[in-house]
Amino acid sequence: MHLDIDFVRQQFPAFSQPTLKDQAFFENAGGSYACQQVIDRLHRFYTQRKVQPYSSYEASRLGGEEMDEAQLRLAAILGVETDEVSFGPSTTQNTYVLANAFANWLKNGDSIIVTNQDHEANTGPWRRLADRGITVLEWRLNKDTGHLDINDLQKLLDDRVKLVCFPHCSNVVGEINDVSKIVSLIHSSGAFACVDGVSYAPHGLPNVGKIGADIYMFSSYKTYGPHQGIMVVRKALGETLPNQGHYFNSKYLPKRFTPAGPDHAQIAACAGIADYIDTLHQHHGGSSSASATERGEFVHDLMRAHETKIMPPLLEWASNKNSVRLLGPDKAGLRAPTIALDIKQDPKDISNKLAQKGIMAGSGDFYAVRALEAHDIDTSKGVLRLSYVHYTNREEIEKLVDALDCSI
């Protein structure tokens, strides 16, 4: 089954906007377009439900039901229990809350492991635990390939390690880490696994239950939705860590790690992500008896297959250009379509040139300073990053390669 790219693009109003006409969007890693299903739900909430939710009058009751629906349906797609999913202002904020919870649970002599492949959001907050007497170990990437070698992790693990934090894939290296294998190793040593899925989830929501991670975090504004951080904390861990919310909410797992008041409308609108997944599943002939988790896996595979199929021309151009260094693998099947290029020119100048040719791309360090430093890249300039998702078509890839050829 091939992804019906025309149908997909019809689900995103951005593609019909005159201001975006003839613009090819290649900064999806910074935030995706929103699908119509999310926009419809957000508009309905702001126009019909913008009251305090969960009271008995209709507007309030319906608002609360829509918030609950988002949690219920996303949990089902992710293969976890409903109360294991919670929402926060951003993944960075969610990570800081979790780090504080661990700070009050870990003991002197305990260790945690972080990587230098991560976005700062899944490494900086954890590293600060060193100020609380916790030993912080670093699982370092290979400076030539960007790869995280599981054998290097094995050498760091011992009975003092209580938590390992690592990315599903890096937002600059792009390599998809073997999460299930890594999590299995972590669990065999008696530690918990925290996975940053922000750069992976836009390419298909994973079955977190199957992966086995104790924590899995991603951002809905990068998965076609509103600006929220979505976090899975499995029950066994969530009930072990100290409560970070109001004391009277301690018995409610989703509220234990969300001390800030919820953004009612944006949480409710996240149900539109599930609507979109179901729309794609049905349009592409998915089984009518499939569970929500199975529908999510079906759509995940559709997205990944399309993204992988159209990637080779861009990887070949980057690999064959002498003045360009491609970060991460040069094989499409091993990576997400988040492609960072170390170039001799100033990346900002090149992104400006690309903009004049109808290419929307970004430059900078993308909060992956440690990963760029490990590659000996000048972080004051950073890299040129080209990122796309499943709604990108082959013609846009060709347009990008042509524009790069004229600009670098």
The dihedral through the CA atoms of 118, 120, 124, 126 has a sign that is: negative
Q: In whole angstroms, what is the distance from residue 351 CA to residue 230 CA?
A: 30
376: left (phi over 0), alpha (psi -120 to 50) or beta: left
256-260, 281-285, 396-400, range with the lowest pLDDT: 256-260
pLDDT in tens, 16-51: 999 999 999 999 999 999 999 999 999 999 999 999
Across 214-244, b (16+ Cβ under 10 Å) vs e yields bbbbbbbbbbbbbebbbbbbbeebbeebebb
- Show the CA angle centred on residue 292, arms to residues 286 and 297, nearest 5°: 60
Contact partners, residue 236, CB within 8 Å, separation at least 6? 214
Tokens 């794609």 sit on residue: 280
Q: In whole angstroms, what is the distance from residue 394 CA to residue 153 CA?
A: 38
The dihedral through the CA atoms of 37, 42, 48, 53 has a sign that is: positive
315 CB-side CA count, 13 A: 20
User: Based on the number of CB atoms within 10 Å of its own CB, is 208 exposed (0-12), middle (13-18) or buried (19 or more)?
Assistant: buried
DSSP type of residue 256: T
Helix (H, G, I), strand (E, B) or coil at 104: coil
Counting every residue written for the chain, the total comes to 408
pLDDT in tens, 175-187: 999 999 999 999 9
Q: How confident is the model at residue 262 (pLDDT cuts 50, 70, 90)?
A: very high
Q: In whole angstroms, what is the distance from residue 210 CA to residue 265 CA?
A: 30
61-65, 107-111, 163-167, 258-262, range with the lowest pLDDT: 258-262
- Show the CA angle centred on residue 170, arms to residues 295 and 89, nearest 5°: 70
Fold of 5-34+307-407: Aspartate Aminotransferase, domain 1 (3.90.1150)
Helices (H), 200-263: 208-211, 235-238
Indicate where the chain has its CATH 3.90.1150.10 domain(s): 5-34+307-407
Indicate where the chain has its CATH 3.40.640.10 domain(s): 43-273
User: Based on the number of CB atoms within 10 Å of its own CB, is 155 exposed (0-12), middle (13-18) or buried (19 or more)?
Assistant: exposed
Fold of 43-273: Aspartate Aminotransferase; domain 2 (3.40.640)
- Strand 338-343 to 324-326 pairing: antiparallel
User: Based on the number of CB atoms within 10 Å of its own CB, is 288 exposed (0-12), middle (13-18) or buried (19 or more)?
Assistant: exposed
pLDDT, mean of residues 344-349 = 97
Instruction: Give the per-residue pLDDT at 78.
Output: 98
Neighbours of 87 (CB within 10 A): 23
Tokens of 311: 């990637």
pLDDT in tens, 81-98: 999 999 999 999 999 999
The dihedral through the CA atoms of 293, 299, 301, 304 has a sign that is: negative
The one-letter amino acid at 6: D
Does 216 have pLDDT greater than 90? yes
Q: In whole angstroms, what is the distance from residue 305 CA to residue 299 CA?
A: 10
Does 263 have pLDDT greater than 90? yes
Tokens of 262: 């919820």
Does 261 have pLDDT greater than 90? no
Does 260 have pLDDT greater than 90? no
Q: In whole angstroms, what is the distance from residue 127 CA to residue 99 CA?
A: 9
Instruction: Give the per-residue pLDDT at 301.
Output: 98
Does 338 have pLDDT greater than 90? yes
Percent of the chain at pLDDT exceeding 90: 99
pLDDT, mean of residues 216-226 = 98
Q: How confident is the model at residue 166 (pLDDT cuts 50, 70, 90)?
A: very high
36-48 vs 58-78: helix axis angle to the nearest 10? 150
CA dist 378 to 323, 339, 342, 363, 383, Å? 15, 17, 9, 12, 9
Helix (H, G, I), strand (E, B) or coil at 166: strand
Distance of CA 331 to the CA centre of its chain: 21
Instruction: Give the per-residue pLDDT at 259.
Output: 93
Does 1 have pLDDT greater than 90? no
Tokens of 280: 């794609």
